[in-house]
Structure 1
Amino acid sequence: MSDQANSPRLQRQLKLIHVIAIGIAYMSPFAVFDTFGIASEASGGYVPASYIVVFVAILFTALSYGKLVQKYPMSGSVYTYTRHVMNSYLGVIVGWVTFLAYLALPMINALLANIYLSSGFPNVPGTFWVIGLIVLITVFNIFGVKLAASVNVLLVMFQFLVGSIFIYLNIRAINSDGAHHYITFQSLFPENLEMSPLLTGAALLALSFIGFDAITTLSEETINPRKTIPKAILIVASIGGFFFFTVTYFMQSLFPDVSVFNDIEGASPEIAFIIGNNLFLALFISGALVSVFASGLAAQLSASRLLFSMGRDKVIPKSFFGYIHPKHKTPLLNIILIGLLALMALFLDLESATSLVNFGAFTAFSFVNICVIALFLKSKQSWTVKNILSNILAPSLGLIFIFYLWISLDLFSIMIGLIWTTLGLIYLALSTSFFTKAPPEIKFDELDM
């Protein structure tokens, strides 16, 4: 019997709405509120313009993901793409490094939950909130991707409801004095605008879009993935870009100078109180908690699928990482493992966890663009203007922007990322007898998609 017949399979249950909800939840729309203060300071007060720049730039990488998932609609995402297009050893290392981002995001969400809830319940130990969130997320993910996806649909709807109320209250506050101080197009991109702070703000805000890529890990659980996943990628990125721009447009219109706030990093809760008093502040904090839960749910979901793909290929032990629960059709052991690893949030701070996300995400974005270029160069497609634009120019522009993000990384992020990469290289060397044999692989070219 072939490897394909013996290999564990995930179950196709997800429709377009589920995939979009998971992508948006992973992206965490409320990140726009958490970063507004520091982004306004970094960009010199041009947060909406910075979001336009980063959306256009990140769109090229989103298109690259869409191309590759049509060719390889499997659960491994960039691990699968790099392995098939470029090199099996390189694919393993890229998957290893990318996992760093998937692993760190549940930690970040647990830390954020601790921050929000500890401010409201100072007498409750922070350990309780961290462990509680991770356990809850793990339980939801164990009982099936459809349940997790359906819950995320509701959570995302609530976040957008709170966001819409936030926008309305901003508009009401702007109009209250009759002056209508809205940002004009000319003031969005004035003639004397300096590009350096604008690009600094864009680099900071690029992390807001992390999530559109994670839905590629759901390809094997999605109905008609070659059509659904690329469409979902563009929809998630576009919804995120529109929401981020709209929210910050009205926030910046109301508060062009963030120095008026007591805490720049906590500017959004201050704005929520100013425009809606304690009642809306309570609703706003509820939205933030929902965002944290939804993002953690999606992150653990995606990470478990990446590990499953590597386990099924026997790159890591298949008996553990390639296991699928017979009833719930979920990679049960992976989900539990990621939940346990997420408990490292008890020993990390927010800055350290964010560093892990940055290195892993930028690695994934870089290799997705490289893979599109490499795939075209290896193919026999004609060098038409259309093919050159979509397979060479577009991913190259995406790669240039990601390169700018790389050079903006702090030394701590780079050091942690390099240590993690070195560990992956050591494991790969030992498991392949020092690169004398190829990593194991299961052929899935004939999967019924």
Structure 2
Amino acid sequence: MNLRVKSVEASIADSHDEERSLKRSLGTWDLAIMGIAVAVGAGIFSVGAQAAANFAGPSVILSFVLAALTCGLAIMCYAEFASTVPVAGSAYTFTYATMGELLAWIIGWDLILEMFTGAAVLAKYWGVYLGEALLAFGLPFPSTLEIGGLTISWPAFLVVAVFTVLLVLGTHLTARVGAVFTIIKVAIVVFVIVVGFFFVEAANFTPFIPEPVPTEGGAADAWTQSLFAWLTGAAPAQYGVYGMLAAASLVFFAFIGFDVVATSAEEVREPQKRLPRGIFLGLGIVTLLYVLVSIVLTGMVPYTELAQEETPSLATAFRLVGQDWASAVISVGALAGLTTVIMVLLLGLSRIVFALSRDGLLPRWLSHTTAHAKTPARITIIAGTVVALVAAFTDVGLLEEMINIGTLSAFVLVSLGVIVLRRTRPDLPRGFRVPWSPVLPILAAVLCFWLMLNLTTLTWVRFLVWLVIGLVVYLAYGRRHSRWAASVSEVELPTPQGAEAPGTRSGED
């Protein structure tokens, strides 16, 4: 395996390249709001209801806590890395500094998958929610157009185009716009929580962990089984402890995106201090909101009534208690929620490709930044255009779970990478240190891998196909054009503590 490790010093030096550097303009609250923006989307109004109805009942509250703890463990590893290597690229850059170029490329390729599919899928949903929000106020709205036999989701194209322009104009401007939408959606969530508490009945929380109900499964649904169930032959089950754990895998989707915050490390003022604070502040607020929503949801109506609905959501709970007006408010909240998620995913996608291209693993001309705003305009425009076209013209909803598996694979490698960097470079200054290392990083990696095993076999097959495509791209282009490979000989082990990497970095493209 290729263990060409890029030194931390080299990564930091690359961030000072005037033609390929980003502007440090973000503070602690910008990061916290970015985390809230990407984690609190339309899912806060639906994912908890679906998990409660189909898997966990009232114990979905614990499912959210378990998912938040798992995410928190992994995010601690991100915070240590980001405060040590405050450079764009997130898990890709961190893996390059610890496990070598090949694994770094693989994880960068995974992150492209996560953010590309995430942005495209949610842009498609944005068009749907726009139609629902307007319909709730009595304004029928066609969210698709038929042109030449093609069905076009024009709102999906529009929202991606608008945020692509904003990202080209500047990260700080985009953060300000995102903050406005984030405040709106959090206000709506808090309003719904407060109103919902008036309809909570303690009896609905009993039994808190419902008795398990076995469900039928077999070869016919092998593609929709979790990989763990398929490998072990275990029959899927509703409710009980295993149902609660299965729900934790489902609701973990609510917390993905905090890794995107780490991709902005190169754009943060005083990153050693502000990055960890911003990440943890955002995660704390998001966890509180999701837990409160799940308490209200399962307290308003029995989970058995939610299970009878085809698509249970928080709006369903309000309807079942005779408060139909809430659907209009929730639709607006869902629309505002999706808006900011799309924005942050587009930001993360452009920064990952920027880091890969700056290292030469993708064409170097992509990594040029604008003179004034210091944004990677070429990458942002290309990525935004592709996302907009895919969202507008294809049924990307089929790839929804690809977002999860791309994120979790990154979480696993970053968690393990913290242990490696502690051993190889204990001398590096760290703005934050994961406590009880290596126990907590190993626990984070194991929990994230467990969640990966709970994704469907079809998702795993698609993931492996994506990895094969990425390996072909790396062997055909990245390996031969790598700037770091051109300046150092391939070694068997990472650079020893205190030693300088041999050679000098190559020049421009």
Indicate the TM-score class for this superposition, using the shorter chain for normalisation. Answer: 0.7 to 0.9
Secondary structure of the structure 2 residue equivalent to 1:308: helix
Contact 2:19 2:369 in 1 (8 A): no
1:139 counterpart = 2:170: no
Deviation at 1:269, TM superposition (A): 2.5
1:89 counterpart = 2:102: yes
Match of 2:194? 168
User: 303, 306, 310: which one pairs with 1:257?
Assistant: 303
Contact 1:258 1:267 in 2 (8 A): no
- Give percent identity, aligned residues only: 22
What does the per-residue CA deviation read over 1:400-434, in whole Å, with 9 as the maximum and x for residues that have no partner?
11111111111221122112211111121122567
Secondary structure of the structure 2 residue equivalent to 1:49: helix
1:323 counterpart = 2:336: no
User: 148, 154, 161: which one pairs with 2:174?
Assistant: 148
Q: Distance in 1 between matches of 2:199 and 2:122?
A: 31
1:53 counterpart = 2:70: no
Match of 2:46? 34
Secondary structure of the structure 1 residue equivalent to 2:160: helix
Deviation at 1:42, TM superposition (A): 3.6
1:225 counterpart = 2:265: no
Contact 2:53 2:306 in 1 (8 A): no
Which amino acid in 1 is paired with 2:302? Answer: P
Q: Distance in 1 between matches of 2:270 and 2:463?
A: 35
Deviation at 1:25, TM superposition (A): 0.7
Deviation at 1:345, TM superposition (A): 2.2
**1:235–1:419 CA distance, 2 compared to 1 (3 A):** same
Match of 2:386? 341
Question: Normalising to structure 1: TM-score of the pair?
Answer: 0.88
Q: Distance in 1 between matches of 2:209 and 2:205?
A: 10
Deviation at 1:149, TM superposition (A): 0.5
User: 171, 183, 190: which one pairs with 1:157?
Assistant: 183
Q: Distance in 2 between matches of 1:27 and 1:148?
A: 17
1:248 counterpart = 2:325: no
Match of 1:210? 256
**1:440–1:118 CA distance, 2 compared to 1 (3 A):** farther
1:21 counterpart = 2:33: yes
Residue pairs, 1:17-416, within 5 angstroms: 17-45=29-57, 46-119=59-132, 120=135, 121-125=140-144, 127-174=153-200, 181=203, 183=205, 188=208, 194-260=240-306, 263-273=309-319, 277=323, 279-320=325-366, 322-342=367-387, 343-349=389-395, 351-379=397-425, 390-416=436-462
Q: Alignment length, in residue pairs?
A: 432
Question: Normalising to structure 2: TM-score of the pair?
Answer: 0.78
Secondary structure of the structure 1 residue equivalent to 2:20: coil
Which amino acid in 2 is paired with 1:359? Answer: I
| Structure 1: 5+ residue stretches without partners | 382-386
Deviation at 1:147, TM superposition (A): 1.1
Higher share in helix: 1
Contact 1:358 1:413 in 2 (8 A): no
**1:13–1:248 CA distance, 2 compared to 1 (3 A):** same
What does the per-residue CA deviation read over 1:124-165, in whole Å, with 9 as the maximum and x for residues that have no partner?
426222212211221222221111111111111111111111
Which amino acid in 2 is paired with 1:338? Answer: A
Contact 2:117 2:403 in 1 (8 A): yes
Match of 1:420? 466
Which amino acid in 2 is paired with 1:98? Answer: L
Q: Distance in 1 between matches of 2:54 and 2:243?
A: 6
Which amino acid in 2 is paired with 1:71? Answer: T
Contact 1:19 1:232 in 2 (8 A): yes
Deviation at 1:202, TM superposition (A): 0.4
Match of 1:384? none
Q: Distance in 1 between matches of 2:482 and 2:339?
A: 44
What does the per-residue CA deviation read over 1:300-320, in whole Å, with 9 as the maximum and x for residues that have no partner?
011111111111112211112
**1:85–1:172 CA distance, 2 compared to 1 (3 A):** same
Q: Distance in 2 between matches of 1:348 and 1:144?
A: 29
Q: Distance in 2 between matches of 1:274 and 1:332?
A: 49
Deviation at 1:395, TM superposition (A): 0.7
**1:80–1:279 CA distance, 2 compared to 1 (3 A):** same
| Structure 2: 5+ residue stretches without partners | 1-12, 145-151, 213-238, 428-432, 489-500
Root-mean-square deviation over aligned CA pairs: 2.9
Contact 2:88 2:265 in 1 (8 A): yes
Secondary structure of the structure 1 residue equivalent to 2:86: coil
Deviation at 1:277, TM superposition (A): 4.1
Q: Distance in 1 between matches of 2:412 and 2:194?
A: 38
Secondary structure of the structure 2 residue equivalent to 1:395: helix
**1:117–1:153 CA distance, 2 compared to 1 (3 A):** closer
